[in-house]
Amino acid sequence: MHHTWQVRVSGRPGADADVFVRKQKFKVGAPLQFDAEYNGVTALEQLLGAFGADLCQGLLQRAKKRRLEVDAVEAVVEGRLNNPLVYLDVVGESGHPGLEYLTARVYVSTLHTDTELQPAWEETLKLSPLVNTLRNCVKMELSFKPAL
């Protein structure tokens, strides 16, 4: 069975892109930004957020399936580019501006131990669309930790 997901993206000079998916709409800023005061959310930040959401929501689903009580899940996701100076078109730089390394630390608010949560975590990684998409092209360090 093949299923295709589709979004429509509209961009204008000097404005964020509008992304339309089903009956929803969200904005995406520049591909990459180095200015801490930039008001938009970059495409790279959207990708990192989607990756963290995939892990959090996936773990919540897997824990529920295994009847493990979880109050909340939070992920801290960091991405490192191969060479961000290539994106800036700096003369003489080599490499590429793509993601090279991802880390995600997932904190689980629960009374369960890491041993009890481990099977749900492994299943989350096994069934994650984004982990399985990116694992062949990006080095990853993914971990979880129960926290009260």
76-102 tens-digit pLDDT: 999 999 999 999 999 999 999 999 999
Does 3 fall in a domain? no
Task: Specify the number of domains making up the chain.
Answer: 1
Please state whether 14 falls in left (phi above 0), alpha (psi between -120 and 50) or beta: left
Determine the angle formed by the axes of helices 43-65 and 114-127, rounding to 10 degrees: 120
Does 18 fall in a domain? no
Does 140 fall in a domain? yes
Does 102 fall in a domain? yes
Number of neighbours of residue 69 by Cβ within 10 angstroms = 10
Q: What is the pTM of this model?
A: 0.92
Question: Can you list the residues of the chain whose pLDDT is less than 70?
Answer: none
Domain of 134, CATH number, reads 3.30.300.20
| Containing structural domain, residue 118 | 31-147
